[in-house]
Amino acid sequence: MTEKWTSQAREAAYTQLCEAITKAGEDGERLFLARLCLLLAEELSDPEAFARALAAAERQ
Protein backbone atom coordinates (compact mmCIF):
# COMPACT_ATOMS: atom_id res chain seq x y z
CA MET A 1 0.00 0.00 0.00
CA THR A 2 1.27 3.46 -0.83
CA GLU A 3 1.53 6.21 1.73
CA LYS A 4 -1.12 8.90 1.88
CA TRP A 5 -0.33 12.16 0.18
CA THR A 6 0.93 15.08 2.18
CA SER A 7 -0.98 18.34 1.95
CA GLN A 8 1.90 19.82 -0.05
CA ALA A 9 1.93 16.94 -2.55
CA ARG A 10 -1.85 17.14 -2.95
CA GLU A 11 -1.68 20.91 -3.50
CA ALA A 12 1.09 20.48 -6.10
CA ALA A 13 -0.97 17.85 -7.93
CA TYR A 14 -4.01 20.14 -7.87
CA THR A 15 -1.96 22.98 -9.36
CA GLN A 16 -0.56 20.71 -12.07
CA LEU A 17 -4.07 19.48 -12.88
CA CYS A 18 -5.46 23.02 -13.12
CA GLU A 19 -2.62 24.04 -15.43
CA ALA A 20 -3.15 20.99 -17.66
CA ILE A 21 -6.91 21.63 -17.87
CA THR A 22 -6.25 25.26 -18.79
CA LYS A 23 -3.77 24.15 -21.45
CA ALA A 24 -6.34 21.74 -22.91
CA GLY A 25 -8.74 24.65 -23.36
CA GLU A 26 -12.52 24.70 -23.18
CA ASP A 27 -12.92 22.60 -26.30
CA GLY A 28 -10.49 19.91 -25.12
CA GLU A 29 -11.31 19.88 -21.41
CA ARG A 30 -13.78 16.97 -21.42
CA LEU A 31 -11.61 14.77 -23.60
CA PHE A 32 -8.55 15.56 -21.48
CA LEU A 33 -10.34 14.69 -18.23
CA ALA A 34 -11.79 11.47 -19.66
CA ARG A 35 -8.38 10.40 -20.95
CA LEU A 36 -6.72 11.27 -17.64
CA CYS A 37 -9.31 9.22 -15.72
CA LEU A 38 -8.75 6.19 -17.95
CA LEU A 39 -4.96 6.48 -17.65
CA LEU A 40 -5.21 6.76 -13.87
CA ALA A 41 -7.51 3.73 -13.79
CA GLU A 42 -4.86 1.80 -15.72
CA GLU A 43 -2.23 2.90 -13.19
CA LEU A 44 -4.51 1.86 -10.34
CA SER A 45 -5.09 -1.63 -11.82
CA ASP A 46 -7.85 -2.25 -9.29
CA PRO A 47 -11.40 -2.46 -10.69
CA GLU A 48 -13.01 -2.32 -7.25
CA ALA A 49 -11.05 0.80 -6.25
CA PHE A 50 -11.99 2.39 -9.57
CA ALA A 51 -15.66 1.60 -8.95
CA ARG A 52 -15.45 3.16 -5.46
CA ALA A 53 -13.79 6.31 -6.82
CA LEU A 54 -16.34 6.58 -9.61
CA ALA A 55 -19.22 6.22 -7.14
CA ALA A 56 -17.66 8.84 -4.86
CA ALA A 57 -17.29 11.26 -7.78
CA GLU A 58 -20.92 10.73 -8.78
CA ARG A 59 -22.07 11.62 -5.24
CA GLN A 60 -20.39 15.03 -5.34
Q: What is the pTM of this model?
A: 0.77
One DSSP character per residue, 1-60 reads -PPPPPHHHHHHHHHHHHHHHHHHHHHHHHHHHHHHHHHHHHHH--HHHHHHHHHHHHH-
pLDDT tens sequence across 1-59: 567 889 999 999 999 999 999 999 999 999 999 999 999 999 999 999 999 999 999 99
pLDDT attached to residue 4: 82
pLDDT attached to residue 11: 96
pLDDT attached to residue 2: 63
